[in-house]
Structure 1
Amino acid sequence: MQGAVRHLWRHPIKSHGREAVERAELAVDRAFPWDRFWAVQHDNATGPDAGWSSYQNFMIGTRTPGLAGLWARLDEDRAIVHLRHARLGEFTLNPEDEGEARQFFAWLAPLLPENRAQPRRIVRAGSRGMTDTDYASVSIMNLSSHRAVSQKLGRDLEHQRWRGNIWFDGMGPWEEFDWIGRHVRIGGAVLAVRDRIERCLHTAANPQTGQRDADTLGALETGWGHRDFGVYAQVVEAGPVALGDRVEVLP
């Protein structure tokens, strides 16, 4: 079974923007490079001020759909994140600077429901990544499965809704679920596929507008009897990954 890499995405600040890249260097027991490197902790959080903790401690699109409309561009050398939103315009910040973080929260305010938790601070997960898993995971997603969901809904969906790191094409829909417990070679790296990804309401929000406009969860449930899309994997052999690279399920 073989496919090819078609898209690579990272999300420097968890739930606060996405960025397409052409290549990345995967490392053992690390998240996708610069993916969810930082996260915005809310004022009801009980997690630590640094390092990994559960997604429940952070501002995420499930509770704040307007965040889905954010796009990012990362300056790796300076660790500066440039953000844009169709309604809000542009904002640039150093996530490590507390003053700039406060200005960032003020910029975001029009997207944040008043009856929900509000941002308190930006915390750093580093190369571990503030993933939704309790291990450093890379998410792998199948464009064929995405097209199946689009067809079920009767409209073209933006694949960015699913917030995946590595997107491949060339295999049948839902074949990725058969990879659980197996290894897959992508470019020069090998990953152990561990879990299916149970989805949330974030996927209902349009990445261009931040408005909920598609019943993605309903489509998954009525079409296939689950709410899963994509798989989580763990890097077990380091190596480069680039657009066009082969995706191969190992024996």
Structure 2
Amino acid sequence: MRIQALWRYPVKSLLGEKRQSLAIDERGVVGDRQYAIIDETGKFGSGKNTRRFTRIDNLLSLRAVTKGDAPTVEFPDGRAIDVVADDIDHRLSQCLGQPVKIRRETEQSHFDDSPVHLLLSSDLEKLQKSLPGSKIDVRRFRANVILEDIGHLSASDLVGSVLTIGDTRLLITHKTERCRMVTAEQEDLEFDPRILKSIARDFEVDFGVYARVLKAGTIAVGQDVEIGSERALRANNQELGI
């Protein structure tokens, strides 16, 4: 198994950036979901309504990229504005049709669930085969790490495993429950409700896995991934006196 692709999303719920490498620390992917758009009630802008999130249309018409110390938001008209610019809140509010502000993460995490999100290429292929008329694209699922699996595992098979990628170690904790976000229109991808229905039917609504960081490091596209167990890792650490 190896890393096929890497993605980072500097601003929660906006389009992200494809990367050749990612730094991983105790929080997760460095710079991932570091900023979020917040409405007047203090809820995070998203494609869904929950206790923490509020649905804001057109978030996926905006892209966040990192070109310096702080991310830049790219607007549909071609403008690019730093998230720390004085007029960023006004520009975002105009674009999204409601008062919003963009803020850096503080005490409350911007993650939906867990620090690192992974997908397997074999699951993407299986979903595409079940929906030949749909465009199954990794962008729909907003994962950080796409793993190329030649053994045709399912991501659910990895739960409880420890992935070693160079010096980095990730513990796969649980499966990713999907919502309507995977059906959303973005860039060249059309709104497609069949995708969530197929995930519910063939994957019991779960598609991908979450992980927490056991050891920080840097990971890169093309890097080999070793799969082990948490029990084996504990035994190895005890033997080494760690």
**TM-score between both structures, scaled by the size of structure 2:** 0.82
Cα distance in 2 between the residues matched to 1:11 and 1:216: 22
Map residues 102-181 of structure 1 onto 2, 5 A cutoff: 102-109=90-97, 118-125=98-105, 130-133=110-113, 137-154=115-132, 155-173=134-152, 175-181=154-160
Describe the superposition over 1:210-245 as per-residue Cα deviations: whole angstroms up to 9, x where unpaired. 752242210012223x11111111111111100000
**In 1, distance between residues paired with 2:56 and 2:131?**
23
SS at match of 2:78: strand
Say if 2:89 and 2:100, in contact at 8 Å, map to a contact too.
no
- Aligned: 1:229 with 2:207: yes
Residue 63 (structure 2) aligned to one of 51, 63, 71 = 71
Asked if 2 retains the 8 angstrom alpha-carbon contact of 1:68 and 1:209, the reply is no
How far apart in 2 are the matches of 1:72 and 1:60?
A: 15
Provide closer, same or farther for how the CA distance between residues 72 and 99 of structure 1 changes in structure 2, counting only shifts above 3 A. closer
RMSD of equivalent CA atoms: 2.3
> Percent of aligned positions with the same letter in both sequences?
25
Structure 2 unmatched runs, 5+:
49-54, 230-242
Residue in 1 that maps onto 2:84: 96
Structure 1 residues 179-218: aligned runs within 5 Å = 179-209=158-188, 211-218=190-197
Q: How many residue pairs end up in the alignment? A: 222
Q: Do 1:220 and 1:228's aligned partners in 2 also have CA atoms closer than 8 Å?
A: yes
Query: 1:127, 1:32 → 2: CA distance?
Result: 17
Amino acid in structure 2 at the alignment position of 1:166: V
Higher relative contact order at CA 8 Å, sep ≥6: structure 1 or structure 2? Answer: 1
Contact 1:37 1:127 in 2 (8 A): no
| CA distance in structure 2 between the aligned counterparts of 1:81 and 1:249, rounded to whole angstroms | 36
Give 1:30's match in structure 2, choosing from 18, 22, 27.
27
CA distance change for structure 1 residues 70 and 157 in 2, over 3 Å: closer, same or farther?
farther
Structure 1: runs of 5+ lacking an equivalent: 46-56, 110-117
TM-score, length-scaled by structure 1: 0.79
Higher alpha-carbon Rg: 2
* Superposed displacement of residue 65, structure 1: 5.3
Q: What is the DSSP-based 3-state SS (H/G/I as helix, E as strand, rest coil) of the residue aligned with 1:196? A: strand
Q: In structure 2, what residue type is equivalent to 1:43?
A: E
Aligned to 1:53: none
**Secondary structure of 2:79's partner?**
strand
- Preserved contact between residue 199 and residue 229 of structure 1 (Cα < 8 Å): yes
For 2:210, give the aligned amino acid: Y
